[in-house]
Structure 1
């Protein structure tokens, strides 16, 4: 009836009826079935079209039915009624007053407005539908049918989603529920779990308590789904192509925001618990980094941000305060030189760029055979933040030149070349020796800094891997994987490690190097013989910021005169303090110009003896024409011209061995190769500088670019 409908259309808030959002939380579960189709998308023949059509049609029909029932009931039932047939108007005395809408229809419910306990009416009776229906039990049957259908829909769909989550192995201890049974791979175990969870909520025994909790979790799901759609849209990923023509990413964002707001308005404490649980699960996945690739929008967002920042960075001019040693490391396959990888990773991780370069010089077909992904996994398993690049080259020099010219992106481009010391320089082919030294020439010509790492036991572990993988000594059971992030890896076969032409995999047991150990309270000795822009001082500073090197003390050795030793020391201390470098001690070397010991000088001469030109090849000081074909050969004239420099290198090695017996690392200024210095003599210099050191030695030389500044702003 019109009067009843208009009267019920307006709000009438009463004490004890709760706030609007309490009632909304109870009503909301009646509209949570819109995800039923999405949850069983794997069982649909055409989910792309079926889910939008089915969901929108279900919302439309549900909305129409809810509005129709509300309008029907609101048109024929007043708010308050006593339910007593004696309260009709004709039976009352004329002196009684009749108030309310019921008076117009022959009923006097005045006592309801005066505080009497009225159990009937639209505002009082929760079973009002039974009273206005043609057949009351049909309403009860409909309630049971709707409840069971909703429960069965989620009982079927939720375990399937949970089964997929278990199979992805994202979280521990839930893999038991991943097993499926039958032709349709039904998750029976997950069904049982869902049943007990539902039973636990039923045992609460109060629908008014259960409804807000259910509403809270569903709103959280809607918020995450809407935000995921919005996030996928703003990343501009070509793979995100929603087929729904009316989709708009701003609508998705609005849906996410309104869902979060409603969560806190309905039950704020449950919303806090829900978000805490979501953040915990997200943090766990972020920390563990499971081997699952969904092509998520986070990957697309990361790519977009990296691309945007890289392009923006290209327009920024370089400044000394922002200098970072961005290293191109000639590691070959990184698994074969783990010490070199660990050392560079020690001062570049989360600070600057590191690229492991692998140059294939023997077999051009090996480029397609070598597995780049497995080597990147090995780096990740070792927690080294580095890129890996592989290319073909006719020689080390050719490959390094190509890497220096082509590697990098905008400002993310290497400025320092790091390589291992060529320990077999006496036995190797002279062309290989010439190629190695020319690579250092080209590096300086390319305006790069150079770092050469030498270790007493060498850097290449190919022979060790061959011994470990010898079939005659294979263990009965394969060793357990030793990777902290549970990354699956495989090992290179002996033939692969030997010829460097086959596919390189990851060793099952990670090789431990000295740079993975805590260095204790030993020293890092820096022999700063020549100014190179400050790179020689910056590297030890970056190293000592790391946890493993934190307790090491940096000592700086400089060359000076005995007469001005105190002035030289004070000047250097003041300079280092201006650079804000934490140096434990500054030591002035005053005896560097003394002649070296005879045995040390004899050892140096014996090292270059195989490369000396014989007396018959030199006539009257004129070098034989064959010298041009063998530029690595050393003539007496060249040796005499560079004798003073050679003796200083030998003498400096004696000083280093005397002062740095217990050092964790020795850093020495790298001599710059000269055009009049044969490659064999230059290698003899490098060998003499680092001879007899039991700790790692780093020969380093900057490109004369300033990398340190006095100014803090």
Structure 2
């Protein structure tokens, strides 16, 4: 009676918080401890001791609790860095690792919590029918599910109050066991039954481990706590500590009062060992009911957070609404109740139970990863008042993964597949959030490490085109962007840039234009960086951009742009090309109509003059183009003009040798001029090509005259690419 009066006193002070919200004891400690002291303690702990003995059990309890404790450390770090709102583990993961990761873990976690209600209720009903055989298991299960659901719908505080009585029943059962006496004369079993009559150590470990994984029960009530940052770590540590002490004392009692054979064969051995045996039944019933209540409180709140963040489809957004003064998720509670009733009616959850356990362990593992990554990155925004070294968080994650495979490798793979499918689904939906996450910090750390290791000297073995496209407005020269994307093929960098002809433009306007272009490209599945600059003259701006854009050794090595049709722009345009060449940037000029679609993309004519300089780069770019998705069915025809028949065989052999050594599937064609000019041959031979590739002469002082003549002579060709190699690199070393 003194204990019950103390509970009532504690209950009144614990719930008399701001706005009626929960404190540490009632909101975190009690739900977590009651889930830890569950049915495994009553029905399977004697079996554990019987199999591995006292010493082995103490090792199992310590190892299991260590993994839970490491997870609790990670939870403490995250919860003391941010205000944890409704959603518990889902909320913490989504705000650290992103909405997709949070949703991929949160949706299975909700299902696991909802179906766990049925698991615990069925366990309660089965134990009740053992005492009262006239009762029907399914009827009892459905009635109990409805009753606890109605209580949760009425008031979270009222539901928590019932857990105090359950705690009292469990305490009474443990006291009764402590006051009991030995069942038979026996020596303390240090190592359990003989090997031929007992299970393997790791099999026993896998059976016991779920007993200590109840710390989410308190975390799931984060939205109902007065001070989550204080209550979650404190209440979780208290529950883990008290649970550990109890689980370390119980094996001593069991091993000293019954031999291994008895412990192995009698699931309710505690009832025979206790001073008042029926108190153990009260404990079993209390343990199953408390676990069911904890899951019933947690599942709807996870669902509420998922709906509020728009992770769920739009037609389920109503599940995000809360009701009443305390924002009770009644719609989510009703849905959880329906799922639990259906599961109780079906009756057998043995098939999916292992997968549900994997979902819980996945949540613990991801929480450890979130805390570890946050600590490892050392972001200025991550300032938890409870600090944990990243090593311990990652150790906890490894422990969770190891236990998952120990318990059930098949269920682990199934759970991983399910989580992965949800992640891919959420990623494709492209959910926009108002909160940041750690992913950008991860990529920045990787980028920093890579940039510091990238050599400024070009390496032929690892050369790729880093293309800067001077596109102007993307909609006007979309063919430049699509062709650039085909050249990079998702394996190299591409930047889409625009120069605004205006000396004074507000920085905010430039940023807004970059954002608009970026969204435009993403909507068309083009992966590219974006840069918008302003200048008094677009040609001067282009020169300035090429000279200054990039960081460290990672600067664009190739500039891609369209040609110019206006006569007054020819001089500054040619000066700009000369500037690019002097800056050692390869130049690709694409001459095509604004709406160019490059025909059927079936044939590329490459007019070749040899392997050196332009010739090597042209072959390389043609190879990249042929390996792109859009040009994968195109034939690349290497064409070369010779003056007479005597040079044909030798030229063919040289080209064949080069193409063979390049290991590419290009065709070749050697054409005899027979007195015709190159331009006449070019027009005749490439009239039906989808793309023509030509080399560009080095820009000298008379480059303007050369370029105007070139434009005139190639005016009637299909879309044409002019290639100018300027990089200090022998492209022959890349090709051969």
Q: Residues 446 and 19 of structure 1: is their aligned pair in 2 closer, same or farther, counting only changes over 3 Å?
A: closer
Which residues of 2 match residues 164-183 of structure 1 at below 5 A?
164-170=305-311, 175=316, 178-183=319-324
Q: What residue in structure 2 maps to residue 278 of structure 1?
A: 419
Bigger radius of gyration, 1 or 2?
Answer: 1
Aligned-pair distance for 1:688?
0.7
In the alignment, structure 1 residue 323 sits paired with structure 2 residue 463: yes
Q: What residue in structure 1 maps to residue 669 of structure 2?
A: 586
Which residues of 2 match residues 50-449 of structure 1 at below 5 A?
50-68=231-249, 71=252, 77-79=257-259, 125-130=266-271, 136-170=277-311, 175=316, 178-183=319-324, 184-199=326-341, 202=344, 215-245=357-387, 247-285=388-426, 290-292=431-433, 295-314=436-455, 317-362=457-502, 364-365=504-505, 367-370=507-510, 371=512, 372-423=514-565, 425-426=566-567, 430=568, 432-449=569-586
Q: What residue in structure 2 maps to residue 561 of structure 1?
A: 643
Aligned-pair distance for 1:56?
0.6
Q: What residue in structure 2 maps to residue 545 of structure 1?
A: 627
What CA distance in whole angstroms lies between the structure 2 residues aligned with 1:273 and 1:51? Answer: 31
In the alignment, structure 1 residue 532 sits paired with structure 2 residue 613: yes
Q: Residues 126 and 698 of structure 1: is their aligned pair in 2 closer, same or farther, counting only changes over 3 Å?
A: closer
Which residues of 2 match residues 474-489 of structure 1 at below 5 A?
none
Aligned-pair distance for 1:294?
6.0
Q: Residues 591 and 242 of structure 1: is their aligned pair in 2 closer, same or farther, counting only changes over 3 Å?
A: farther
Q: What residue in structure 1 maps to residue 222 of structure 2?
A: 41
- The answer as to whether partners of 2:623 and 2:664 remain within 8 angstroms in 1 is yes
Q: What residue in structure 2 maps to residue 458 of structure 1?
A: 594
Q: In structure 2, the residue corresponding to 1:329 is in which secondary structure?
A: strand
What CA distance in whole angstroms lies between the structure 1 residues aligned with 2:378 and 2:302? Answer: 27
In the alignment, structure 1 residue 662 sits paired with structure 2 residue 688: yes
What CA distance in whole angstroms lies between the structure 1 residues aligned with 2:710 and 2:700? Answer: 13
Q: For CA contacts below 8 A with separation 6 or more, give which structure has more relative contact order.
A: 2
For residues 664-709 of structure 1, the C-alpha deviation after alignment (integer angstroms, 9 at most, x for no partner) is 10112224444246x4x4553243133123x311122212745432
For residues 544-594 of structure 1, the C-alpha deviation after alignment (integer angstroms, 9 at most, x for no partner) is 1123222222223334323644244444444444444533122335267x5
Q: In structure 2, the residue corresponding to 1:153 is in which secondary structure?
A: helix
What CA distance in whole angstroms lies between the structure 2 residues aligned with 1:664 and 1:700? Answer: 17
Aligned-pair distance for 1:166?
4.2
The number of aligned residues is 550
- The answer as to whether partners of 2:369 and 2:394 remain within 8 angstroms in 1 is yes
Which residues of 2 match residues 559-708 of structure 1 at below 5 A?
559-562=641-644, 564-566=646-648, 567-588=650-671, 590=673, 652-676=678-702, 679=704, 681-682=705-706, 684-693=708-717, 695-703=718-726, 705-708=728-731
- Structure 2 unaligned blocks of 5 or more: 1-180
Query: Which stretch has the larger CA shift, 655-664 or 522-531?
Result: 522-531
Q: Residues 458 and 250 of structure 1: is their aligned pair in 2 closer, same or farther, counting only changes over 3 Å?
A: closer
- The answer as to whether partners of 2:662 and 2:735 remain within 8 angstroms in 1 is no
Q: What residue in structure 2 maps to residue 7 of structure 1?
A: 187
What CA distance in whole angstroms lies between the structure 1 residues aligned with 2:277 and 2:267? Answer: 13
Task: Give the aligned CA root-mean-square deviation in angstroms.
Answer: 3.6
Aligned-pair distance for 1:253?
2.5
Q: Residues 283 and 206 of structure 1: is their aligned pair in 2 closer, same or farther, counting only changes over 3 Å?
A: closer
What CA distance in whole angstroms lies between the structure 2 residues aligned with 1:210 and 1:698? Answer: 60
Aligned-pair distance for 1:537?
2.4
Aligned-pair distance for 1:340?
0.9
Q: Residues 546 and 30 of structure 1: is their aligned pair in 2 closer, same or farther, counting only changes over 3 Å?
A: closer
What CA distance in whole angstroms lies between the structure 2 residues aligned with 1:211 and 1:329? Answer: 55
The structure where helix makes up a greater share of residues is 2
- The answer as to whether partners of 1:454 and 1:698 remain within 8 angstroms in 2 is yes
What CA distance in whole angstroms lies between the structure 1 residues aligned with 2:583 and 2:709? Answer: 23
TM-score (norm 1): 0.68
Aligned-pair distance for 1:367?
4.4
Q: Residues 270 and 575 of structure 1: is their aligned pair in 2 closer, same or farther, counting only changes over 3 Å?
A: closer
Q: Residues 204 and 661 of structure 1: is their aligned pair in 2 closer, same or farther, counting only changes over 3 Å?
A: same
- The answer as to whether partners of 1:166 and 1:177 remain within 8 angstroms in 2 is yes
Q: Residues 204 and 67 of structure 1: is their aligned pair in 2 closer, same or farther, counting only changes over 3 Å?
A: farther
